[in-house]
Amino acid sequence: NAGVMQNPRHLVRRRGQEARLRCSPMKGHSHVYWYRQLPEEGLKFMVYLQKENIIDESGMPKERFSAEFPKEGPSILRIQQVVRGDSAAYFCASSPANRGLIANYGYTFGSGTRLTVV
């Protein structure tokens, strides 16, 4: 029973390139969340998606960042024209749809993608 799968684990990009981070939720989970973590800091919410829908993107920077969760395939977090300040660990989490289950059982996180912009 695979957990949340993120790839790649490590990604190095030059300034100005595009970064694509992928996340496959746990089996049976229809909700996906992306968080960003800077060194020695807690996680900051970026975006919450359901299949083919962005539910809450209040934590996404206004420019260069986008996310999708298509009907088929993994969720993608895309960062265009990366800058050094984008270097961070990006975590994806998934949960079931039921609010009660979320409240009681929390979220399952992937191992993250560590993005380094050089």
Rg (CA), the chain: 14
Q: Contacting other proteins (CB under 8 A), which of 56, 61, 78, 83? A: 56
Give which of 100, 88, 104, 84 is closest to 34, Cα–Cα.
88
Binding of other proteins by 45 (CB under 8 A): yes
Q: Contacting other proteins (CB under 8 A), which of 17, 30, 111, 116? A: 111
Query: Whose Cβ is closer to other proteins: residue 17's or residue 59's?
Result: 59
CA torsion, points 75, 79, 85, 91, in degrees to nearest 10?
A: 0
Choose the binding region for other proteins from 13-21, 65-73, 77-85, 88-96 (rule: CB under 8 A): 88-96
